[in-house]
Amino acid sequence: MRGFDELRYIRPTLVIFIFLVTILLMMLPYHVFQNEAISYTQEIYSGIFETSVENLGSALS
């Protein structure tokens, strides 16, 4: 193919490097979102736990 003749000059290490960078950039937003989701869930559940303990204390007294 005429348009892809330059690709034979690319080293395999460059192809592997570009592939790894692509994978890293795809996984980075997932990692950030996962950390945010975990912290949000812990915050919500801690609020639920505190509220339930307060309600239990007021119901028993």
Question: For residues 13 and 24, what is the distance between their CA atoms, to the nearest angstrom?
Answer: 16
Q: Is the pTM here over 0.85, yes or no?
A: no
Q: Beta strands of the chain (E only): which ranges?
A: none
Predicted local distance difference test score (pLDDT) of residue 9: 77
Predicted local distance difference test score (pLDDT) of residue 22: 93
Closest CA to 31 of 41, 23, 43: 23
For the chain, which ranges sit under pLDDT 50?
Answer: none
Phi, psi values for residue 11, rounded to 5°: -75, 150
Token match 């996984």: residue? Answer: 27
How far from the centroid of its chain's Cα atoms is residue 55's Cα?
Answer: 35
Predicted local distance difference test score (pLDDT) of residue 38: 85
How far from the centroid of its chain's Cα atoms is residue 18's Cα?
Answer: 21
